[in-house]
Amino acid sequence: MINDYPFLIAFTLGLVGSTHCIGMCGGIMGAISSVTLGQTGHPLLNYRWIQLLLYNFGRILTYSLIGMLFGALSGALINFGTAWELIFRIVAGITLILMGLYLAGFGAVMLLFESSGQYLWKYIQPFTARFMPPRNLWQVVMLGGLWGWLPCGMVYSALIWSGSQGSALSSAFLMFCFGLGTLPALLVTGSVSGGLAKLLSDKKLRRVLGLIVVVYGIWTLAGATIFSTASHDDHGAENQHHSHQHH
């Protein structure tokens, strides 16, 4: 069943973690926004907000597609038995707790995932040069899509969590909501961007939102415990039923 709460949490993770995204993606967005009418054959690219929307559309589309792949994989594994579903529930809970602690300023374990993505990124990065500077709307979308593979601990953590849902559709939508959460900070520019970044960097706000994510992670782990107990009871009842049939 699709529950409203995970998608709200996904949006919150993206929103609060977007200060990290500004550092990761701010340079490329500045390069896209610097394109002038004289550099491109498409007049729409002269409007900065259109460039930024298209770039972020490509980026969020990549997040959603990768989330779909992770969700499809976990869904396939769950078909092999309920033990996999329990594992994914536990992984989801632990990942949420670690992400919440990072957002609250109590650790950066999640950022260790960035180093693991460097290997893949070194093969993808050369392709971005083909679209710099972008000369049409499609190239802006493609550039955003490629930049969605940029090694980012927050994105990787969100992928692990979303992929543990056991559903391609749910995982894709979780990553879509996560991407939407990062959108405000990456769309606004100049002094507004600085003000928003300052707000999202506020220690008290980050701590409150981060701890909310931690609580949700603990709730997820508690659900895994209940699921494990229920599965064990069902298995025991099934064995007892077969035993009575045998007699």
- Sorted by where each begins, the domain ranges of the chain are 4-246
Going by pLDDT thresholds of 50, 70 and 90, the confidence category of residue 171 is: very high
Q: How far apart are CA 90 and CA 83, in angstroms?
A: 11
Mean pLDDT of the 160-183 span: 89
The number of residues making up the chain comes to: 247
Residue 50 CA to residue 204 CA, distance in Å, equals 34
What pLDDT does 57 receive? 92
44-51 mean pLDDT? 68
Res 127: pLDDT? 84
Mean pLDDT for the chain overall: 75
* Model confidence, pTM: 0.76
Q: Rounded mean pLDDT of 173-182?
A: 92
Work out the pLDDT band at 58, boundaries 50, 70, 90.
Answer: very high
Least confident of 46-55, 144-153, 176-185: 46-55
Residues 6+ apart with CB under 8 A from 54: 137, 140, 141, 144
pLDDT of 71 higher than 80: yes
Query: Residue range 200-209: average pLDDT?
Result: 76
Q: What is the pLDDT of residues 80-108, one digit of tens each?
A: 777 777 888 888 888 888 888 887 878 76
Give the pLDDT of residue 105: 79
- The residue type of 144 is G
HSE-up (13 A, CA, CB side) for residue 19: 17
Q: How far is CA 24 from CA 35, 147, 154, 181, 225, in A?
A: 20, 10, 11, 15, 37
**Contact predicate 147/25, CB 8 Å:** yes
Lowest mean pLDDT among 1-10, 12-21, 39-48, 163-172: 39-48
Residue 39: per-residue pLDDT: 52
Mean pLDDT: which of 10-14, 42-46, 194-198 is highest? 10-14
pLDDT recorded at residue 190: 41
